[in-house]
């Protein structure tokens, strides 16, 4: 899975897209990810992001193309769902202030809501996790114990549901 980081600078975006396309042409990409949370940050609008995705798809030689976004942005932007070959989604109960005891319940609700919105498209969890340190957000408390609890429960959930995932991340960032 190789991504092109997109932001509000069109020149930097061009470099990222050209690099991704080059890697695809070299046969080094199994999944092309065009941007990460660009709608969430407001760096691009829906039309701009879709334009970049369509451009990469035109040169993808059958490699699936997607973007990484939070589940609400797929639900609120059906045209984005339509253009993506797979749905690459970030779901973080921690960032929503959910107490660890209810984190996987809420995660599963959001996943099922997204699944209903995207139909038969494969959903890959592109990011999820629970920090071991940092700021408490409403009822979401970052501790090593909560991080382990979330990891164990998430991996069990993913195995039962047969959902591919990337866990973010192995170590807390400074």
- Percent of the chain exceeding pLDDT 70 equals 98
The pLDDT value recorded for residue 170 is: 72
The stretch 58-83 carries a mean pLDDT of 97
Residue 5 confidence (pLDDT) above 90: yes
Average pLDDT over the chain reads 96
The pLDDT value recorded for residue 169 is: 79
Of the candidates 124, 127, 101, the one whose C-alpha atom is nearest the C-alpha of residue 40 is 127
């Amino acid at each position: 899975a190789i991504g092109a980081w997109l932001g509000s600078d069109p020149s930097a975006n061009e470099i990222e897209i050209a690099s991704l396309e080059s890697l695809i042409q070299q046969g080094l990409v199994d999944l092309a990810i065009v941007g990460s949370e660009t709608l969430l940050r407001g760096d691009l609008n829906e039309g701009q992001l879709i334009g970049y995705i369509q451009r990469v798809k035109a040169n993808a030689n059958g490699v699936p193309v997607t973007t990484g976004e939070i589940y609400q942005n797929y639900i609120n932007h059906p045209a984005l769902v339509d253009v993506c070959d797979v749905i690459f989604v970030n779901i973080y109960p921690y960032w929503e202030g959910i107490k660890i005891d209810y984190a996987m319940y809420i995660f599963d609700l959001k996943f099922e809501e997204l699944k209903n919105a995207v139909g038969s498209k494969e959903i890959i969890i592109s990011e999820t996790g629970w920090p071991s340190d940092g700021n408490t957000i409403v009822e979401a408390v970052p501790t090593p114990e909560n991080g382990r609890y979330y990891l164990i429960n998430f991996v069990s959930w993913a195995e039962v549901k047969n959902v591919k995932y990337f866990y973010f991340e192995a170590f807390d960032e400074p």
